[in-house]
Amino acid sequence: MKRVGYLRVSTAEQRTDRQFDALKDVCDELHIETVSAVCARRPVYERVIRNLRGGDVLVVWDLDRAFRSVVDALTEAEKLRRRGIDFHIASLHVDTRTPAGIFVYTMLSALAEFERRTLSQRTREGLAAARRRGKRLGRPPKLSEWQLHEARLRMSAETITAIAADYDVAPWTLSRSLKRVRSGNPGIPQ
């Protein structure tokens, strides 16, 4: 019987220190993945699940480190259970070997999805409110309005590649920016 730890962060800027410190003493091996939970493929997770054997325990620090949704969490836990593999959420001391553990796990899965969806909804509402107030969202434009005006004047005599090189942008960026200005939407992010 092995206790196999799965650690995940969404971006390279995030760190696994908290998860690592919590699991290093309670797991026989640790596997770290840097990918968003909603990503279609999670190669490390897939390999860990594939290599687990009956009697092993999959250990994660938090529920959201392993699963995308309530349905995903419940489905995966059931697949593991059928293979004789237990699941443990270390931060909450939830162990799926007991009926109480399964119950708590099910409720936590539902709460985690509720929290994720609520956060997503709040973010969308906040962005919509900012747009209604005229706030420009996204990356700042690479080219100023003056540069775009100047580039338009130069287009008859020079190639887009040469003009873009003068502004240190890709020709594609320049042509998109010029199209946006022509369509009357200069404030749309590039």
Known catalytic residues?
10
Q: In whole angstroms, what separates CA 60 from the centre of its chain? A: 17
Spatial distance between the Cα atoms of 144 and 131, rounded to a whole number of angstroms:
21
H helix runs in the chain, sequence order: 17-23, 43-51, 70-82, 99-132, 145-154, 160-166, 171-182
DSSP for 29-54 reads EEEEEES-TT-S--HHHHHHHHH--T
Report DSSP state, residue 141: P
**Nearest Cα to Cα of residue 117 among 187, 44, 38:** 38
Q: Which residues are registered as beta bridge partners of 29?
A: 4
> Distance between CA 63 and CA 90 in Å, rounded?
9
Distances in Å between the alpha carbon of 106 and those of 30, 57, 164? 25, 18, 56
